[in-house]
Amino acid sequence: MHPIVRMIDANANRACEAARVLEDLARFVLGAGEVAAGLKSLRHDLRRAIGSALGGAGIDPVMLAAWRDPEGDPGTGLSHEGEVRRAGTPAIASAAAGRLGEALRAIEESLKTIDSGRAGEVEKLRYASYALSRRVELALGTGRASQWRVCVLLTESLCTHHSWEEVARLAIEGGADCVQLREKSMESGELVERARALVGIARPAGVSVIVNDRPDIALLAGADGVHVGQNDLCVRDVRRIAGSGLLVGVSTAHLEQARRAVAEGADYIGCGPMFASATKVKPVLSGPSFVGEVVGDAVCGRVSHLAISGITPENIGELVGAGCRGVAVSGVVCGAEEPAGVCRALRAALEGAERG
In a domain, 316, yes or no: yes
CATH of the domain at 74: 1.20.1260
For residues 180 and 94, state if they share a domain: no
Asked whether residue 134 is assigned to any structural domain, the reply reads yes
The enclosing domain of 215 has a CATH number of 3.20.20.70
Are 198 and 168 spatial neighbours (Cβ–Cβ below 8 Å)? yes
Relative to beta strand 150-154, strand 178-181 is parallel
Domain that holds residue 217: 150-355
d(CA 331, CA 160): 10
> Which residues, listed in sequence order, are joined to residue 250 by a DSSP beta bridge?
228, 269
CA 57 to chain centre: 45
CA 182 to chain centre: 22
At residue 223, the 3 state secondary structure works out as coil
Looking at the fold, whether 106 and 175 belong to one and the same domain comes out as no
The CA distances from residue 6 to 66, 251, 276, in Å, are 11, 51, 67
Do 110 and 210 belong to one domain?
Answer: no
Confidence (pLDDT) at 277: 87
Separation between Cα atoms, residue 175 and residue 345, nearest integer Å? 9
**Residue 218, pLDDT score:** 98
Same domain, 192 and 322: yes
Residue 102 lies in a domain: yes
Nearest to 328 by CA among 178, 182, 161: 178
Contact predicate 334/167, CB 8 Å? yes
**Long-range pairs for 242-247 at CB < 8 Å and ≥24 separation?**
242/215, 242/218, 244/90, 244/142, 245/219, 246/142, 246/215, 246/218, 246/219, 247/141, 247/142, 247/144, 247/145, 247/208, 247/210
Q: How many domains does the chain have?
A: 2
Structural contact between residues 300 and 255, judged by C-beta atoms closer than 8 angstroms: yes
pLDDT number for residue 166: 98
- Residue 208 inside a domain? The answer is yes
| Chosen domain end from 139, 158, 193 | 139
* Local structure of 58: helix, strand or coil: coil
pLDDT tens-digit profile, the chain (356 residues): 688 999 999 999 999 999 999 999 999 999 999 999 999 999 999 999 999 999 998 888 888 787 777 766 666 666 666 667 888 999 999 999 999 999 999 999 999 999 999 999 999 999 999 999 999 999 999 999 999 999 999 999 999 999 999 999 999 999 999 999 999 999 999 999 999 999 999 999 999 999 999 999 999 999 999 999 999 999 999 999 999 999 999 999 999 999 999 999 999 999 999 999 877 777 899 999 999 999 999 999 999 999 999 999 999 999 999 999 999 999 999 999 999 999 999 999 999 866 65
User: Do 292 and 166 share a domain, yes or no?
Assistant: yes
* Phi, psi at 213, each rounded to 5°: 75, -30
What are the Cα distances from residue 17, in Å, to 5, 44, 68, 99?
A: 18, 12, 16, 9
Residue 88 falls within a domain, yes or no?
yes
Q: Are residues 9 and 53 in the same domain?
A: yes
* Residues 273, 202 share a domain: yes
Max Cα distance, the chain (Å): 84
If asked whether residues 134 and 157 sit together in one domain, one would say: no
Does residue 175 share a domain with residue 97?
no
Strand partners, 251: 270
Give pLDDT, residue 205. 97
Per-residue buried b or exposed e for 293-317, using 16+ beta carbons within 10 Å of the residue's own CB:
bbeeeebbeebbbbbbbbbbbeebe
Q: In terms of domains, do 156 and 305 share one?
A: yes
Flag whether 144 is in a domain. no
pLDDT of residue 68: 75
75 and 217 belong to one structural domain: no
Q: Give the phi and the psi of residue 327 in degrees, each rounded to 5.
A: -130, 155
Assigned domain for 233 exists: yes
Burial 174-200 (b: 16+ CB within 10 A, else e): bbbbbbbbbbeebeeeebbebbeebbe
Tell me the C-alpha to C-alpha distance, in Å, between residue 156 and each of 167, 216, 236, 243. 9, 21, 30, 30
Angle, in degrees to the nearest 10, between helices 164-173 and 339-355? 30
Say yes or no: 128 and 154 in one domain.
no
